Amino acid sequence: MTETFDMEVPILGGKPSPFAAPAGCYCLEVREVQHYTDSLFRFRVSRPKEFRFRSGEFVMIGLPNADKPVFRAYSVASPSWDEELEFFSIKVPDGPLTEHLQKIQPGDTLLMRKKSTGTLVNDALLPGKRVWMFSTGTGIAPFASLIRDPETYEKFDQVILTHGCRTVPELKYGTDLVESLRDDPLVGDLVRGKLLHYPTVTRETYVHQGRLTDLINSGKLFDDLGLPRMGPEEDRAMICGSMAMLKDIKELCLSHELEEGANNKPAQFVVERAFVD
Ligand SMILES: Cc1cc2nc3c(=O)[nH]c(=O)nc-3n(C[C@H](O)[C@H](O)[C@H](O)COP(=O)(O)OP(=O)(O)OC[C@H]3O[C@@H](n4cnc5c(N)ncnc54)[C@H](O)[C@@H]3O)c2cc1C
Ligand SMILES: NC(=O)c1ccc[n+]([C@@H]2O[C@H](COP(=O)([O-])OP(=O)(O)OC[C@H]3O[C@@H](n4cnc5c(N)ncnc54)[C@H](OP(=O)(O)O)[C@@H]3O)[C@@H](O)[C@H]2O)c1
């Protein structure tokens, strides 16, 4: 099979893969892998010079482990200016992609289709005073990109990253990231005073507890942050999580009189699922 390789030989598990990369894909080199829990990890890969995307968009990724590899949608968690691409991933037991993806090591090859897309982009929102980023689980990934993009801070005076998880270890990707940004040479000055972080868990004791929906409904989220209730004049929102979470937070945004937008019709909030249930 090796004669089918015309450009690059994909590497998997530290060894040349017997499968050629499908046409129309980038072959990216895995540079770094960090595991957080038995169901969450982050990895960084090389970035082709010509690959352009908007912070908050997603791409399709796969592994060179079959003639017809499984591709899945992934939000790019790094900002559009970064020299590498970062992803934050679930590990689904027996998941067609992630049962293999969770084993990648530096030096391995990640396949990525060449086009990016998505609705969680700054362009899909009208200007406002503040932007609320509502996420649960791996839904934080597009916001990990947007909170590192200076454009987000040019557009909004306050950027509020909320992240709901079941347990405290699942918050670590987000808490580490926010912590690292405060001293970041590029966005540190922008982030200080503008970025507010509200991590909350539902199944353990923590400084913030409860579902984001309940925290919005009770007003505790706003009181804890010292901010007024959401409204259409000042507030914009982006939502990323499970289908149930999207539905419930979307209803809350509508009840606070925010109007849903899209790439071709910017408005006051936008929605994208973090996975297909
Ligand atoms: C627009 C979009 C963006 C996405 N971005 C990301 C991302 O940045 N990171 C990421 O890990 N996944 C993301 N996903 C989900 C991803 O596409 C895959 O579903 C996931 O990698 C699992 O792949 P799989 O083949 O192992 O299992 P699949 O067959 O795809 O999924 C099996 C089941 O696992 C559960 N599941 C899948 N993904 C998740 C998840 N992320 N969190 C919790 N449960 C899940 C669901 O119940 C699903 O039915 C995104 C999905 C969409 C639609
Ligand atoms: N995370 C894990 O430890 C774990 C382990 C094994 C399997 N799984 C499976 O993986 C899938 C996803 O798990 P996940 O934990 O990443 O995502 P999830 O089930 O969507 O939960 C993430 C967080 O969102 C909250 N949430 C759920 N529905 C909500 C809604 N409608 N509005 C607001 N908040 C909501 C959850 O609170 P609640 O706790 O109140 O639901 C939890 O705090 C599920 O199918 C799950 O069975 C997860």
pLDDT of residue 4: 38
- Locate the domains of the chain by residue range: 2-113, 122-273
Burial track 250-269 (b if 16+ CB lie within 10 A, e otherwise): bebbeebebebbeeeebebb
> Regarding beta strands 235-241 and 269-273, do their DSSP bridges make them parallel or antiparallel, or are they unpaired?
parallel
Query: Torsion over CA of 160, 166, 169 and 174, rounded to 10 degrees?
Result: -20
Query: Taking residues 23-30, what's their average pLDDT?
Result: 94
Q: Tens of pLDDT along 71-119?
A: 999 999 999 999 999 999 999 999 999 999 999 999 999 999 999 999 9
7 token code pair: 């450009």
What's the whole-model pTM score?
0.96
Hey, do 2-113 and 122-273 end up sharing a CATH topology, with the first three levels equal? no
What's the pLDDT score for residue 5? 36
pLDDT in tens, 153-212: 999 999 999 999 999 999 999 999 999 999 888 889 999 989 999 999 999 999 999 999
Distance CA 78, CA 75 (A): 9
Q: Does domain 2-113 have CATH number 2.40.30.10?
A: yes
- Is the shortest distance between the CB of 88 and ligand 1 below 6 Å? yes
Q: In this structure, which topology does domain 122-273 adopt according to CATH?
A: Rossmann fold (3.40.50)
- Ligand 2 site, CB within 6 A: 39, 136-137, 164-166, 170, 202-203, 211-213, 241-242, 244-245, 248
Q: Which atom of ligand 2 is nearest to the CA of 90?
A: 16
